[in-house]
């Protein structure tokens, strides 16, 4: 089932999310719903707070080549355990900040640990867009948005546009 995506500004997007203790069937269903919501948007990642759930859960699939098989990843309690000194700049977007893009600089390569939907611990090195996306999604779990990397003027301009978008959507 697709779930509605919260639009910035929303207090739930600014909260630090709680670690997941047990992976229940409800959490597995939430992960499936998030993947469906992400693919439908379309997007390459989604974090639980974006659908109003304050648990440390993200999903991502950064496969973009035509004909390449999808690679949906479900990560409970993801953690960046090492980052490269080399940095990478990417024009980031966010499904909670529609149609707004800005350059953000982050480590180019990161080592990440997480627990999968069956409770198995994983560790993997991510590079390029995968590294950018996983860092963007983990930021969501810590109440941080890509606009928090921008200067105050740009951030305020985008926030005002989103306030207007929400007003217009509420009017119908
Ligand atoms: O977290 C989110 O809101 C999802 C976001 C992830 C992301 C994008 C770019 C850089 C870092 C993280 C998105 O998926 S925005 C949409 C998007 O980038 C996209 C949509 C369709 C095809 C390819 C990209
Ligand atoms: Zn986002």
Q: Does the pLDDT value for residue 106 go beyond 90? A: yes
Closest residue to atom 20 of ligand 1, CA basis? 43
Ligand 1 site, CB within 6 A: 42-47, 90, 92-96, 132-133, 136-137
What is the band of 172 on the pLDDT scale with cuts at 50, 70, 90?
confident
Q: Would you state the pLDDT for residue 111?
A: 99
> Which ligand is nearest the CA of 104, by number?
1
Catalytic: 79? Answer: no
Say what percent of the chain tops pLDDT 70: 100
Q: What is the average pLDDT across 123-147? A: 98
User: Is 140 marked as a binding-site residue?
Assistant: yes
Contacts 24+ apart (CB under 8 A), 32-37: 33/1, 33/2, 33/3, 34/3, 34/59, 35/59, 35/61, 35/72, 35/74, 36/1, 36/2, 37/2, 37/3, 37/5
Say what percent of the chain tops pLDDT 90: 98
């Amino acid at each position: 089932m697709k779930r509605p995506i919260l639009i910035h500004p929303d207090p739930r997007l600014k909260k630090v999310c709680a670690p997941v203790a047990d992976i229940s069937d409800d959490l597995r269903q939430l992960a499936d719903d998030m993947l469906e919501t992400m693919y439908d948007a379309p997007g390459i990642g989604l974090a639980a707070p974006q659908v109003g759930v304050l648990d440390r859960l993200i999903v991502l699939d950064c496969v973009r080549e035509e004909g390449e098989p999808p690679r949906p990843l479900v990560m409970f309690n993801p953690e960046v355990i090492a980052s490269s000194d080399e940095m990478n700049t990417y024009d980031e977007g966010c499904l909670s900040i529609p149609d707004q893009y800005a350059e953000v600089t982050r480590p180019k390569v990161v080592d990440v640990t997480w627990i999968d939907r069956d409770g198995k611990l994983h560790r993997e090195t991510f590079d390029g867009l995968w590294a950018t996306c996983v860092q963007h999604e983990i930021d969501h779990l810590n109440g941080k948005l890509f606009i928090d990397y921008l200067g105050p003027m740009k951030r305020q301009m985008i926030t005002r546009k989103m306030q207007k978008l929400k007003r217009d959507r509420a009017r119908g």
